[in-house]
Amino acid sequence: MARLPLEGIRIIDSTYIIAMPYAGGILADLGAEVIKVEGPAHTDMTRGAFLGTFPDNVLGDDWWNRAAGYNMLHRGKRSLTLDLSKEEGRDVFRELVKTSDVIMENYTPRVMRRWGLDYPNLKKIKPDIILVSNTGYGHSDGPYSQYPAQATTQEATHGLVSLTGYRGDMPSKAGAAYVDFLASWSGLLGIASALRHRNRTGQGQWVDIGMYQMGCYFTSEYILDWTANGRNPTRIGNRHPSRAPQGCYPCSGVDQWCAISVGDHDEWTALCQAMDSPELTEDPRFATASARMEHHDELDEIIRPWTQTLDKFEVMERLQGVGVPAGPVHDSKDANTSSHYWERGFLEKVDYPEERKIGSRVLMTRSWHLSKTPMPIDRPAPTLGEANNDVLQGLLGHSESEIAKLDELNIIAKEPANTPPPVVVSLSDQVEQGRLAYFDPDFKAKLGI
């Protein structure tokens, strides 16, 4: 079997939530040894109810090892607990730095400085170390640099929510915290670039990520419009500044939709033909792009009755077949049962050890392939502190008595400290509360697990 690209690289992943933990999971897919470091009293929020779900909606005896979000983000890693708020924990961390290639952290800037683990101090320990710092606003003297942040609030700071929402209504966040994923992919590029630089020069470096800057790129045309023209856009819902008709149209079934976007006269003519309404092409209200923009509400009233009679996938196939951009609105079930996703290898079954009582589960992999380097998920996410002894004794050479002392001081642990289990609400109650659209009792059979 071909060697994986990052075999022999050791990465210390002292990060939380989504952005860099997701990057760490991909780095593990690529062959790196990724050691996730968490404090016993400061475990990753994704071990709880932060991302919402547990296998079969059951907490189990070790709920902190079972959460779906945690298991998806941390596949292939090892787990070491270290209380970095105590000097004994930081001493062990410094030992780890000496044996590692990359350190990832996502604390606010003051934290690593206060602990003496910022880049100037880390490179004294290991001159060629690569440090990745993921913060909301970057390490600088700028007025926002000390602010904590997460992707859901950053959408406001970088301006997306001023654009997202319906006309005349309040600003709205996107459905998912997508800036986390931009930060993750940027972190991967930064690590690859820093490793290449180190291979060529022998020098490490600091990869300093400011998440809000990546979000700004996705509003760049509007920022430039103000810079060039002094104009601020209004919110337009599912519509587009120049394409009409455009929107999500209801299809047959409950809460089923298909997105349609017409960009020129040929696409408009093809849509009219597909709807068996060729006469619309002669209607002066719709004869030009500007006229269609002006009469968009009337267009929606014409298109909606047609789409409501058809399955959303049929709408897509009919329109794609005649050159009209269209796509069904997938929900979670559609994504997990998509034959295309499975054919691409984007979804993969992972078997857990019997003692984990999780069984076989489906995880997302990567959106790209390497043609000569297959890299299936190596192993499921680890239990908390699973690698404590292996790392402390096998890698760092600590004696059993030293490890026992760390355990006694609560520097290491295999259970979270003072963390109550999350409350699990029945699926039917979640539907009634509006937290779920529906649940499918036959999901395992449909996934083949």
pTM of the model: 0.94
Strands 78-81 and 130-135: unpaired
Name every residue whose Cβ is closer than 8 Å to that of residue 168 and which is 6 or more positions away in sequence. Answer: 235
In SS3 terms, the chain reads as CCCCCCCCCEEEEECCCCHHHHHHHHHHHCCCEEEEEEECCECCHHHCCCCCCCHHHCCCCCHHHCCHHHHHHCCCCEEEECCCCCHHHHHHHHHHHHCCCEEEECCCHHHHHHCCCCHHHHHHHCCCCEEEEEECCCCCCCCCCCCCCCHHHHHHHCCHHHHCCCCCCCCCCCCCCCHHHHHHHHHHHHHHHHHHHHHHHCCCCEEEEEHHHHHHHCCHHHHHHHHHHCCCCCCCCCCCCCCCCEEEEECCCCCCEEEEECCCHHHHHHHHHHCCCHHHHHCHHHCCHHHHHHCHHHHHHHHHHHHCCCCHHHHHHHHHHCCCCEEECCCHHHHHHCHHHHHHCCEEEEECCHHHCCCEEEEECCCCCCCCCCCCCCCCCCCCCCCHHHHHHHHCCCCHHHHHHHHHCCCCCCCCCCCCCCCCCCHHHHHHHCCCCCCCCCHHHHHCC
Query: Which two structure tokens, joined as six digits, stand for 280?
Result: 């619309």
Give the domains, in start order, of the chain with CATH numbers. Answer: 10-217+345-447 (3.40.50.10540), 246-330 (3.30.1540.10)
Name every residue whose Cβ is closer than 8 Å to that of residue 413 and which is 6 or more positions away in sequence. Answer: 40, 81, 384, 385, 407
Supply the angle between the helices 19-29 and 179-201 in degrees, to the nearest 10. 50
What is the C-alpha to C-alpha distance for residues 346 and 327, in angstroms, rounded to an integer?
Answer: 19
| Contact assessment for residue 34 and residue 26, using Cβ atoms and an 8 Å cutoff | no
Strands 246-250 and 206-210: unpaired
| Contact assessment for residue 239 and residue 305, using Cβ atoms and an 8 Å cutoff | no
Residue 150: what pLDDT? 87
- Encode the chain (449 residues) as per-residue pLDDT tens digits: 568 999 999 999 999 999 999 999 999 999 999 999 999 999 999 998 776 689 999 999 999 999 999 999 999 999 999 999 999 999 999 999 999 999 999 999 999 999 999 999 999 999 999 999 999 999 988 899 999 998 888 999 989 999 999 999 999 988 788 899 999 999 999 999 999 999 999 999 999 999 999 999 889 999 999 999 999 989 999 999 999 999 999 999 999 999 999 999 999 999 999 999 999 999 999 999 999 999 999 999 999 999 999 999 999 999 999 999 999 999 999 999 999 999 999 999 999 999 999 999 999 999 999 999 999 999 999 999 999 999 999 999 999 999 999 999 999 999 999 888 999 999 999 999 998 999 999 999 999 99
**CA-CA-CA-CA torsion sign (269, 271, 273, 275):** negative
